[in-house]
Structure 1
Amino acid sequence: MKNDIQESRMITLAAPAGGLASGAGVVIGSLFGIAARTVLVGEQVAISTEGVYELPKLASAVIAAGARVSWDDTAKQINVPARGRFPVGTAIEAAGNGIATVHVRLDGVVTAAV
């Protein structure tokens, strides 16, 4: 297609303040994604907005397989949906109290803090 710009699974944007580490979750505007590489603030970086990723989670959060999950942009981790968090996807495995990561299928749609 002559009007095709880029595949929507990977979006290239400028890194926010503080830059990004490879594999880090990030909210940029209304997009949530996972950084493809480590970059400094303002550098162009591809973020993946779809796929399944192992992400940090609040260790005390109890998340069931198939449950909707949200990104806490202050703590930079997955948590249960609540005010101030960004809905980003669905847990594909259970992750109980004491577990520090969870596998998440990203929705690939725009998000906003609840």
Structure 2
Amino acid sequence: MARNYVQPGETLPLIAPRALASGDGFLVGGIFAIALTAAAAGAPVEGRRVGVFDGPKATGAWTPGQKLYWDNTAFNLTTTATNNVLVGAAVQAQASADTVGRALLTGQIAP
């Protein structure tokens, strides 16, 4: 292994941008993650960047594999790309009225 290797990067120590409950999605700069514990705004929190999670869902139906974006104003997952950050893809179909959706977070860095 390279001597400059630090860690895998799937989970990172970050600073909570707002009060977070365990399981809340959040954005720190270009990094989207799911809080693994509760944290006060400005406090350290471990954030998981990749994996399959159930998260808050905006109105609108999802199809498996459909790109999902994080709405950092409404704090939910959406299929709307405009003004939102690509975070992954839908794992399963979701009805428009569903308030929770299953998403594969792919760990890409937001532009």
So what's the TM-score if we normalise by structure 1? 0.89
Which amino acid counterpart does residue 36 of structure 2 have in structure 1? Answer: A
How far off is 1:7 after superposition?
2.5
Q: Secondary structure at the match of 1:46?
A: strand
Q: Secondary structure at the match of 1:13?
A: strand
Aligned match of 2:53: 53
How far off is 1:83 after superposition?
1.0
Residues 7-86 of structure 1 mapped to structure 2, 5 A cutoff: 7-16=8-17, 18-58=18-58, 60-86=59-85
Which amino acid counterpart does residue 26 of structure 2 have in structure 1? Answer: V
Q: Does structure 2 retain, via aligned residues, the 8 Å contact 1:81–1:87?
A: no
Which amino acid counterpart does residue 70 of structure 1 have in structure 2? Answer: Y
Distance across 2 between alignment mates of 1:5 and 1:15: 22
Aligned residues: 110
How far off is 1:100 after superposition?
0.9
Q: Any gaps of 5 or more consecutive residues in structure 2? A: none
Runs of 4+ in structure 1 deviating by more than 3 angstroms, as ranges, are none
TM-superposition CA deviations, 1:28-83 (whole Å, max 9, x none) = 0000010010011222111000000001101x311111111111111011111321
So what's the TM-score if we normalise by structure 2? 0.92
Which amino acid counterpart does residue 6 of structure 2 have in structure 1? Answer: I
Identity over aligned residues, as a percent? 30
Could you say what the CA RMSD is over the residues aligned between the two structures, in angstroms? Answer: 1.3
Which amino acid counterpart does residue 37 of structure 2 have in structure 1? Answer: R
Which amino acid counterpart does residue 64 of structure 2 have in structure 1? Answer: A
Which amino acid counterpart does residue 45 of structure 1 have in structure 2? Answer: V
Residues 94-109 of structure 1 mapped to structure 2, 5 A cutoff: 94-109=93-108
